[in-house]
Structure 1
């Protein structure tokens, strides 16, 4: 460690205060930049991160309002406030309570869960291109949904089959590595192998099923938010609520882990345990998202990287990744509902387009900088 690396540790992360030793400097002159004391509690405040968070929240609100108001069935903007306060009647009540209201809440919750899941996974593996999709969560969900649709028709709902498939894929990855979730390299390699097997299973089922049923299944395994209900919204809300406390507990150890295992261990963190807990929590969040919306691609991969590049700060950026994921999915679903290209096109196809465009821009930027 060189002298130049010391301010990075003092600066902390965007998700929590920097770990300060009891003998560190005190007073205004010795206080790390951006550290605000509220009584006995020290809170790290980064102006750029605050501005980015407020901007993302504002864009999410705008996209949410557009989702409820645009189109032939949209609620007039002048009446939206009354509708949201419980005064909706007739068609507006039907649209808000049965059509677009649950769909919007599910999109917000699912996007947030996927963004958090991707941030946890990328921080644990230290791989900016890592996501739960890479280790087979989405592919396992698709295989489980396919198996339920073909072999257990009328017995097991397709979303339950997807959830079981995702969990079984993760169990298989866990056993295949020989070290559980502690070795990022083995985790990615095992995940790619399990994903390939699951994708082969899905393609076989789609080929074997009748065309009408196969079309419905294809829409689900690409990720869909159509016909969502308040039960789905409650499910993803409970997943986020359960994950809230572990996320708060993991924020500081993950931030310390960004500086390397040796430094993290010197600061009192346990890198192996932190990585394992982060991957497990990422799988829980991804599985919850899959259960309500199917395997939606690229949100978990893209959202954490967008958040990190907007803030230009070190750290896992958990909160900003969740907000970014919610914004991306709401915008993608708005395109799925309003663009006159195809009717009821699965939202997962739009997220693939967004993710592909982002990766293309990333590659061009890296080439201009001479890194590729």
Structure 2
């Protein structure tokens, strides 16, 4: 592993690449490293708060012993069954959502081009609803959500007429697909039995309650498999940010690179939906926060993943500890924050003449 540094004319700071062998070159900037370290510290602090706060929390002095295998009694139950798996799923799903959004926004070159805005979250909800209504004994709700995600992506791709190349059409088509999927979901909620509808709505809104270590291991496996593939694409994605013609001249094969990025984005989003439900707006906000904190160009893949984990862990901490509500699904909080941020982005893009 070696690090080389190069300076771009007009850049605010030196830009370099962390090279791993000859296949992987990850862009590195000093400001990005500082922001990343701070984000990791915030994530660790949020994780500690998740495990220690509240009536059932592990006492802070006992936390190191509990984490490293010495938990007993109530502390063991909290760590192994109650909050530990929930924290693991929140961090893993948040990282996958953030990375998925960064990939998709890089491909579309549009801050609005996230899996949420183009209807994937609504498609996941519709797929889950279809599984609950049509095949309740044959098709698990998470599998239905995955199928709904894929179908929504296909519909958006076909509806634009130009695939993912036109950001404006992409957003408009996504809004249409999301509206249809949401209407179907609401129909199912009224059609199914009351008890099943309550359970379904909890899943559709995105909930981390009653998570297991098996689900945490599932999203960890998705990140372990997809993460290295994303790293292999990182340099080509940065070249594609300069424009397709220049990227092609530099050997980046933009169309193939974009297709691979979309496929990896879908895999990350689908894995997150499978373990946590269609939690909204993490994939929209995390990459944009990363870009604004670093003040640099590019998709900021690693930082988007870390910030996605931070956002979802903090949202889940709020869901657990806020006394005004009784363990409200975490997706309600992310929708409130993301909805306001989406409005800001829409106004910003409209003023720039992009929409």
What is the TM-score when the length of structure 1 is the normalising length?
A: 0.85
Pairwise CA RMSD: 2.8
Question: Is there any run of 5+ residues in structure 1 with no aligned partner, and where?
Answer: 1-6, 13-31
Residue 240 (structure 1) aligned to one of 220, 223, 227: 223
Structure 2 residue aligned with 1:57: 40
Rg larger in 1 or in 2? 1
Using the alignment, how far apart are the partners of 2:268 and 2:195 within structure 1? Answer: 31
Write the mapping of 1:120-199 to structure 2, written as runs, cut at 5 A.
Answer: 120-177=103-160, 180-181=163-164, 184-199=167-182
Using the alignment, how far apart are the partners of 2:43 and 2:117 within structure 1? Answer: 27
C-alpha deviations, 1:31-81, integer Å up to 9, x for none?
x94548989988754211111000000000000000000011101100000
- How many residue pairs were aligned? 345
C-alpha deviations, 1:301-328, integer Å up to 9, x for none?
0000000000001110000000000000
131-140 or 68-77: bigger deviation: 131-140
Secondary structure of 2:83's counterpart equals helix
Using the alignment, how far apart are the partners of 2:214 and 2:166 within structure 1? Answer: 37
Using the alignment, how far apart are the partners of 2:95 and 2:189 within structure 1? Answer: 30
Residue 222 (structure 1) aligned to one of 201, 205, 224: 205
Using the alignment, how far apart are the partners of 1:254 and 1:34 within structure 2? Answer: 15
Structure 1 residue aligned with 2:288: 305
Secondary structure of 1:190's counterpart equals helix
Shift of residue 216, structure 1, vs aligned partner? 1.6
Secondary structure of 1:238's counterpart equals helix
Structure 2 residue aligned with 1:87: 70
Structure 2 residue aligned with 1:331: 314
133-142 or 222-231: bigger deviation: 133-142
Structure 2 residue aligned with 1:257: 240
Using the alignment, how far apart are the partners of 2:16 and 2:136 within structure 1? Answer: 57
For the 8 Å contact 2:27–2:235, the answer to whether it is kept is no
Residue 207 (structure 1) aligned to one of 185, 190, 205: 190
For the 8 Å contact 1:181–1:276, the answer to whether it is kept is no
Residue 318 (structure 1) aligned to one of 294, 301, 315: 301
Using the alignment, how far apart are the partners of 1:313 and 1:301 within structure 2? Answer: 18
For the 8 Å contact 2:112–2:345, the answer to whether it is kept is no
What is the TM-score when the length of structure 2 is the normalising length?
A: 0.89
Structure 2 residue aligned with 1:78: 61
Structure 2 residue aligned with 1:284: 267
Shift of residue 123, structure 1, vs aligned partner? 0.6
Using the alignment, how far apart are the partners of 1:237 and 1:247 within structure 2? Answer: 15
Shift of residue 349, structure 1, vs aligned partner? 0.6
Change beyond 3 A, Cα 1:44–1:11? farther
Structure 2 residue aligned with 1:346: 329
Using the alignment, how far apart are the partners of 2:282 and 2:299 within structure 1? Answer: 16
